[in-house]
Structure 1
């Protein structure tokens, strides 16, 4: 039996007549009758008895119907899987991120993704830059959002937005009494700085060093959020990305806008050998949209 014969046979069994089956399938009644007769000849059994212009299904027809229904359930499953592939439903997404994008940016995009694809599942992990590269190269994750550029031959790195540098100080700090923010004065304070392993270290330190002011290091941290926590506690003045500053939300922390503050890229990262699924592509679009709202 081919799929067309299965379709017609099931329609006749469901509706009880070739006329109703033809109406259901939007074909001619004679065409349905011919196909049923041909199927009976092909199988060598009588599927329907004709009584007073009615079709009565034989026991053989009922046996066949049970198998046909199994096929239909299988076809329906295939159609459902195909729909899930297209729309992301019931799919999974493995997401990595650097520390500062893990605070609000990635969670916000993830929440919106799951509102759209309610049966999908996201596996999320915040990792150091080196581990993000290793995991993506090993194809153990689908996509990463990073505030530092990543370099590897099999990784596709795209800029999706930018973050801005801000100065954060504890409530009541003398810098807040000035009418205009003085970067040189801020750099001469006790500072919270980043360890070399932190993704912000290279870009922030590189920008600050060009001013040629010797810095008094009070605390060394590995994340912008930790820098905010230290500054809020009075341990020192910190220069942080606006993603971390927004997420900290401490009453003891004050954010100072830096005139002509530098802006640095945020990247989406994928493995060129494993392009994003529809779910992954939608996630990246939502991240970019979220990021635009942070500006």
Structure 2
């Protein structure tokens, strides 16, 4: 049986006549009758008895109907899924993120996405830059939001916004309430990062230009950890504003740096795996949430 035969047979079983089935399907009654006769010949069993101008389903027809209903429900489900593909509903999205964009930006965009597409599901993980590249290249993720540029021939990397560097110190620090002096700040014991962190080259350049010897108190892997260390009094940290504003510690002060450098935030996808409508909507929400977060400066 093909899908058209299934549709017509089910309509006849549901309505009890070829006339009503034809009206339901918006086709001619003779066409329905011919299809049913052809189906009976094809199956080799009568499906209906004609009694006084009425169709009475045979036991074989009722047996067939039970199976047809299962198939029909599957067809309806496929149609619904196909319809939802346009709008991103009932889909899944695999999202990766840098540590700082994982604190507020990606979660807020994800929450808005799921409010809009309540039957969708997001798989989310914050990973180091190297692992983000590996996962996207292997097509184990759909999209990443990164605060570091990712370099690989199959990756489509696009700037979606910028963050600024701030200085984080504990409450009551000598720099609080004064005009910010970079030389004084760099002369403190510092909370530093690994060389691949975007702020590391900036700090190195400042130290070299001012001829200041580096005093490392702690080395961390993320801006959030740097804020926690600074709040506890372990040292002074130059942190990205996304991490700083997510920390919200009562014992942390955030100082603006005159002419502070800005760093890009990127969306990253695999050029061989175009984003779904769900993924495209997610990136639109990321851009919107980034604008909202940065307006709080």
Q: TM-score, normalised by structure 2?
A: 0.87
Distance 1:173 1:114, change over 3 A: same
Distance 1:224 1:54, change over 3 A: same
Deviates more, 1:99-108 or 1:110-119: 110-119
Where does residue 282 of structure 1 map in the other structure? Answer: 281
Displacement of 1:197 in angstroms is: 4.2
**Hey, what's the Cα distance between the residues in 1 that align with 2:198 and 2:234?**
21
Partner of 2:49, secondary structure, is strand
> Is residue 107 of structure 2 the alignment partner of residue 102 of structure 1?
no
Distance 1:191 1:42, change over 3 A: closer
Deviates more, 1:236-245 or 1:70-79: 70-79
Displacement of 1:165 in angstroms is: 1.2
Where does residue 239 of structure 2 map in the other structure? Answer: 240
Q: TM-score, normalised by structure 1?
A: 0.87
Distance 1:29 1:262, change over 3 A: same
How is 1:24-35 mapped onto 2 (pairs within 5 angstroms)?
A: 24-35=24-35
**Hey, what's the Cα distance between the residues in 1 that align with 2:51 and 2:98?**
75
**Hey, what's the Cα distance between the residues in 2 that align with 1:29 and 1:41?**
19
**Hey, what's the Cα distance between the residues in 1 that align with 2:200 and 2:83?**
44
Distance 1:156 1:207, change over 3 A: farther
Where does residue 47 of structure 1 map in the other structure? Answer: 47
Distance 1:193 1:43, change over 3 A: closer
Distance 1:253 1:84, change over 3 A: same
Query: Is the CA contact (8 Å cut-off) linking 2:148 and 2:197 kept in structure 1?
Result: no
Q: What residue ranges of structure 1 are gaps of 5+ in the alignment?
A: none
> Is residue 262 of structure 2 the alignment partner of residue 256 of structure 1?
no
Where does residue 206 of structure 2 map in the other structure? Answer: 208
**Hey, what's the Cα distance between the residues in 2 that align with 1:133 and 1:158?**
14
Where does residue 17 of structure 1 map in the other structure? Answer: 17
How is 1:188-203 mapped onto 2 (pairs within 5 angstroms)?
A: 188-202=187-201
Query: Is the CA contact (8 Å cut-off) linking 1:10 and 1:68 kept in structure 2?
Result: yes
Partner of 2:215, secondary structure, is strand
Partner of 1:119, secondary structure, is coil
Deviates more, 1:118-127 or 1:97-106: 118-127
Partner of 2:96, secondary structure, is strand
> Is residue 118 of structure 2 the alignment partner of residue 118 of structure 1?
yes
Q: What residue ranges of structure 2 are gaps of 5+ in the alignment?
A: none
**Hey, what's the Cα distance between the residues in 1 that align with 2:64 and 2:196?**
67
Partner of 1:19, secondary structure, is helix
Deviates more, 1:241-250 or 1:153-162: 153-162
> Is residue 53 of structure 2 the alignment partner of residue 62 of structure 1?
no
Query: Is the CA contact (8 Å cut-off) linking 2:198 and 2:263 kept in structure 1?
Result: no
**Hey, what's the Cα distance between the residues in 1 that align with 2:9 and 2:190?**
80
Distance 1:195 1:64, change over 3 A: closer
**Hey, what's the Cα distance between the residues in 2 that align with 1:26 and 1:16?**
16
**Hey, what's the Cα distance between the residues in 2 that align with 1:217 and 1:273?**
46
**Hey, what's the Cα distance between the residues in 1 that align with 2:244 and 2:76?**
50
Where does residue 148 of structure 2 map in the other structure? Answer: 148
- Deviation digits for residues 202-231 of structure 1, max 9, x if unmatched? 3x3366357534154242322111221222
**Hey, what's the Cα distance between the residues in 1 that align with 2:177 and 2:291?**
31
Distance 1:140 1:38, change over 3 A: closer
- RMSD of aligned Cα (Å): 2.5
**Hey, what's the Cα distance between the residues in 2 that align with 1:278 and 1:182?**
48
